């Protein structure tokens, strides 16, 4: 089912920016938001060809100049930004495991994409949202922001930061009409996790931990993001929405 995005101010289509929209959850989100009637811009390091986005910009979310240029282009094209989905993220290499084993450059790389990236993109989107007096910043965190993933020190830390970043934004911008919420997926079948899920034993190990009995598909997470972006939950801000098939419920 698709729904027209509800804009209480006018019938102008909503404008959504999705980072990391070339693959996985971001790609599904771009498709879903487009189907819901949004005008979508995708920012990604990689080729976002084949998405339903109206605008695709090759952008490294860790680079302030590239981010500023991309957001200027979004505003020049669409005139506004209603929703920012901070989705681009990485887990780090196999070496980025427990604290004392994590190479310093791996730590820095994970924090750069997962923490600095949302900061830079939000910072670049906020002047437009402040001018509008409205906006919604949705950051894709992880259940790793709520519980620790064993042997994933840098990633767990970065997703905890994403949850707190969301709360900080919620508190600081509520009076300006801007909301911030996070989505915390559990295990999702995307290129990020495919190497593990392609191994039947490892897939089974993961799935036995999930009460609903299966890993999520990217569309399951896009659904949650689309619900937040639809403006149907207008009293919700600073919240982290867990979408994990019940994984963290036991």
Residues in contact with 248: Cβ distance below 8 Å, sequence separation at least 6, in sequence order: 143, 146, 147, 186, 242
The stretch among 32-40, 120-128, 191-199, 233-241 that binds ligand NAD (CB under 6 A) is: 191-199
In whole angstroms, how close is the CB of 35 to ligand NAD at the nearest point? Answer: 18
From candidates 57, 74, 140, 206, binder to ligand NAD by CB under 6 A? 140
In whole angstroms, how close is the CB of 90 to ligand NAD at the nearest point? Answer: 5
From candidates 12, 46, 95, 174, binder to ligand NAD by CB under 6 A? 46
User: Token pair for residue 79?
Assistant: 């005139």
SS3 annotation, 203-240: HHHHHCCCCCCCCECHHHHHHHHHHHHCCCCCCCCCCE
Say how far apart CA 244 and CA 129 lie, in whole Å. Answer: 30
Say how far apart CA 11 and CA 189 lie, in whole Å. Answer: 35
In whole angstroms, how close is the CB of 236 to ligand NAD at the nearest point? Answer: 20
Please report, in angstroms and rounded to a whole number, the separation of the first and last CA atoms in the chain.
31
From candidates 18, 74, 90, 154, binder to ligand NAD by CB under 6 A? 90
In whole angstroms, how close is the CB of 204 to ligand NAD at the nearest point? Answer: 16
Is residue 62 a contact point for ligand NAD (CB under 6 A)? yes
Which H helix or E strand runs over 137?
Answer: strand 135-140
235 is catalytic: no
CA distances from 1 to 17, 19, 28, 36, 211 (A): 22, 24, 15, 9, 26
Compare residues 134 and 193 and give the one whose CB is closer to ligand NAD: 193
Cβ contact 61:50 at 8 Å: no
Contact code string over 197-236 relative to ligand NAD, x by CB under 6 A: ----------------------------------------
From candidates 45, 81, 84, 120, binder to ligand NAD by CB under 6 A? 45
Give contact residues for ligand NAD (rule: CB under 6 A): 19-20, 22-26, 44-46, 59-62, 87-90, 113, 117, 140, 142, 185, 187-188, 190-193
Task: Enumerate the active-site residues.
Answer: 155
């Amino acid at each position: 089912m698709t729904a027209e995005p509800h804009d209480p101010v006018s019938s102008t289509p909503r404008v959504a920016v999705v980072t990391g929209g070339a693959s996985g959850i971001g790609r599904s989100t771009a498709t879903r938001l487009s189907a819901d009637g949004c005008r979508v811009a995708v920012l990604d390091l990689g080729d976002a060809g084949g998405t339903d986005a109206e605008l695709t910009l090759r952008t490294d979310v860790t680079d302030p100049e590239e981010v500023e240029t991309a957001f200027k282009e979004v505003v020049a094209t669409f005139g506004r930004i209603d929703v920012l989905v901070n989705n681009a993220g990485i887990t780090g290499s196999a070496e980025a495991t427990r604290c004392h084993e994590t190479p310093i450059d791996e730590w820095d790389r994970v924090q750069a994409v997962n923490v600095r990236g949302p900061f830079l993109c939000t910072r670049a989107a906020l002047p437009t949202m402040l001018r509008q007096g409205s906006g919604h910043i949705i950051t894709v965190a992880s259940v790793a922001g709520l519980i620790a993933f064993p042997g994933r020190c840098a990633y767990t830390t970065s997703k905890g930061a994403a949850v707190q970043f969301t709360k900080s934004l919620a508190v600081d911008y509520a009076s300006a009409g801007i909301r911030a919420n996070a989505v915390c997926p559990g295990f999702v079948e995307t290129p990020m996790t495919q190497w593990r899920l392609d191994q039947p034993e490892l897939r089974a190990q993961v799935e036995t931990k999930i009460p609903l009995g299966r890993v999520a598909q990217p569309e399951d997470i896009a659904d949650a993001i689309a619900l937040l972006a639809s403006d149907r939950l207008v009293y919700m801000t600073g919240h982290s929405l867990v979408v994990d098939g019940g994984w963290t419920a036991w």
